Amino acid sequence: MASVGVIGGGQLARMMTPPAINLGLDLKVLAEAEGSSAALATTQVGDYTHLDVVREFAQTVDVITFDHEHVPLPVLEALESEGVKVNPPSKALAFAQNKLKMRKRLGALGLPMPAWAEIQDADALQTFIDTHGGVAILKTPIGGYDGKGVRVVRSADDAIDWLGNLEQYGGSLLAEEKVDFVRELAQLSARRPSGEFKAWPLVQTIQENGVCSVVISPAPDASADTLEATAEIARKVAEGLEVTGVMAVEMFEARDGRLLINELAMRPHNSGHFSIEGSVTSQFEQHIRAVSDLPLGSTEPTAAHAVMVNLLGVDDKNNFVQAYDKALAAHPTAKVHTYGKGARAGRKMGHVTVVSDDLEFALAEAKGAAAVLLRG
- 370, 332: one domain: yes
For 126-156, give one letter per residue: b (16+ CB within 10 A) or e: bebbeebeeebbbbbbbeeeeeebbeebeeb
The pLDDT value recorded for residue 325 is 92
The pLDDT value recorded for residue 53 is 98
Residue 39: CB atoms within 10 A of its CB come to: 16
- 207, 336: one domain: yes
The pLDDT value recorded for residue 12 is 98
The pLDDT value recorded for residue 87 is 98
Kindly report, residue by residue over 160-177, the tens digit of the pLDDT: 999 999 989 989 999 999
- 187, 172: one domain: no
- 218, 323: one domain: yes
**pTM, whole model, 2 decimals?**
0.95
Rounded Cα distance between 292 and 288, Å, is 6
Containing structural domain, residue 44? 3-86
- 79, 167: one domain: no
Residue 105 lies in a domain: no
Element (H, E) at 305: strand 305-312
DSSP of 230-243: HHHHHHHHHHHTT-
- 82, 133: one domain: no
Residues of the chain with pLDDT under 50: none
The pLDDT value recorded for residue 314 is 83
The pLDDT value recorded for residue 5 is 98
- 259, 349: one domain: yes
The pLDDT value recorded for residue 234 is 98
By the 8 A CB rule, do 339 and 376 touch?
Answer: no
